[in-house]
Amino acid sequence: MNKNKFLTTCLLSGALLASQTAHADENHPGYLAGFTSRVSQGFANTTFSFIEIPKNVVNITHDQNILLGSSWGVLRGVAHTVSRTLIGVAELIASPIPTDEFISPPYVWDRFSEDTRYFGLHFPGYWTHYGPLDHGYSDTLDHGK
């Protein structure tokens, strides 16, 4: 009787070991990769959020003119600087919890010509545009839609 239990255990163990292992989904990184990514994003967004000011000045100047870029661009850049700093702190605090992204683009220097968006929402605005990388199309721009 003990031989049968031992043989059954060996066969079941062999079958379990021979089965395919689960692979992580490429769109969802593992916990450790997500944690380190969230910590680095939080640290970078908290430290380098001031780059939002020249980013908005350059983008609005390019889209409209230097007068609007130097006035509205500075105001919007300051608002995005404060927002990116707060999001960076929130990312550092919430880094152990796997969540969706808080801010897009994740770093201020990524896709520099695109406007910053929070929690995946498009905020309306006349001088707001989002790039093709976020929606999968390349010929048109999304003007606050």
pLDDT in tens, the chain (145 residues): 577 777 677 666 666 555 555 455 556 667 777 788 888 899 999 999 999 999 989 888 888 889 988 898 899 999 999 999 999 999 999 888 888 888 888 888 888 788 888 877 766 555 455 554 444 444 444 444 4
Please list the residues that pair with 117 across neighbouring strands.
104
* Tokens (6 digits) for 32: 């450790």
Return the H-helix or E-strand segment holding 104.
Answer: strand 103-104
**What is the Cα–Cα distance from 76 to 68, expressed in whole angstroms?**
11
Two tokens, residue 125: 């605005």
How far CA 14 is from CA of 8, 10, 11, 142, in Å, comes to: 10, 6, 5, 55
pLDDT at 53: 92
pLDDT in the model for residue 105: 85
Q: Which pLDDT score is estimated for 116? A: 83
